[in-house]
Amino acid sequence: MSTLSPDVIQRIRSAKNILFLTGAGISSESGIPTFRGEGGYWKTFKAEELATPEAFENHPDVVWEWYDWRRGICLDAKPNEGHLTIAKWQSLSPSINLITQNVDGLHSRAGSKNLLEIHGNIFRARCTSCREKFSLGEDGINQPGLKFCPVCESLLRPDIVWFGEGYDNKLLTKAWELSKVAHIVFVIGTSANVSVPANLALTAIRNGALGIEINPETTTLTPSMQVHFGGKSGEVLPEIFKEVFPDTKRN
């Protein structure tokens, strides 16, 4: 189904550094609503209205309730063929890297290594005062709604980068480095509405990487890509993998 040209297949095979850049779309086949799609609403709120420092300042209880709900969905979800194919691909070489905007933890549950979660992780909280980090869930802090720091008793917040907030410098520096040296960049399941991830993809392309986008829709990045697959990542990625490595077993 994927049908890459022989030239592109050859470029992928001979590429040393491959970068996968993923967004919410890769997890939609696992049942996790995307941010800007139909499921991006909770009660009457849009996801973009809740994932902000202002929303947390004004209504920390509502924001925590929303994240508790999303965390439950993430916990029940299973990695799909898209996540699993990237993990399998990464197991072939240490220079295949993955940068995700997703906070759902599904890439690491699929077995991905060399993973940068640039927007944080929904299974972690950090203290608004001492910045100490804690796991959430059965093995960590588990009460619903507002949560407090066991060290200093201040309010905890989700360990997630919200709209209008800066990124973790160390993670971002590493992400820029990876995008500059990539020979191939796969851009998967992102609307490219957030500027940092979109610019990571563009940086790779400006530095000579071949860009392959997998998304049922076109995005602002599509014109910069050499290849666009208008399909679901859980279907397209295994096909690409099969074409590039016809002799490698999937599992």
Binding site for ligand OAD (CB under 6 A): 23-26, 28-29, 34-37, 48, 51, 101, 103, 119, 160-162, 189-191, 193-194, 214-217, 219, 232-233
| Helix intervals (H) in the chain | 6-14, 47-50, 53-58, 60-76, 81-90, 106-110, 169-181, 195-206, 233-244
C-alpha 55/C-alpha 77 separation (Å) is: 27
Whole-number minimum distance, CB 162 to ligand OAD, in Å?
A: 6
Cβ atoms < 10 Å from Cβ of 181:
16
User: Is residue 63 annotated as involved in ligand binding?
Assistant: no
User: Is residue 104 annotated as involved in ligand binding?
Assistant: yes
User: Is residue 121 annotated as involved in ligand binding?
Assistant: no
Closest residue to ligand OAD in the complex (CB) = 25
Q: Which residues contact 109 (CB under 8 A, 6 or more apart)?
A: 78, 79, 83
Measured between alpha carbons, how far apart are the two ends of the chain, in Å?
A: 20
Structure tokens at 67: 């994240």
Catalytic-role residue among 107, 119, 183, 228? 119
183 an active-site residue? no
Nearer to ligand OAD, 149 or 160 (CB): 160
Nearer to ligand OAD, 76 or 217 (CB): 217
C-alpha 14/C-alpha 184 separation (Å) is: 10
User: Is residue 216 annotated as involved in ligand binding?
Assistant: yes
Whole-number minimum distance, CB 141 to ligand OAD, in Å?
A: 20
Indicate the annotated binding residues: 67, 70, 101-104, 127, 130, 149, 152, 189-191, 215-217, 233
Indicate the annotated binding residues for substrate: 67, 70
Active site residues: 119
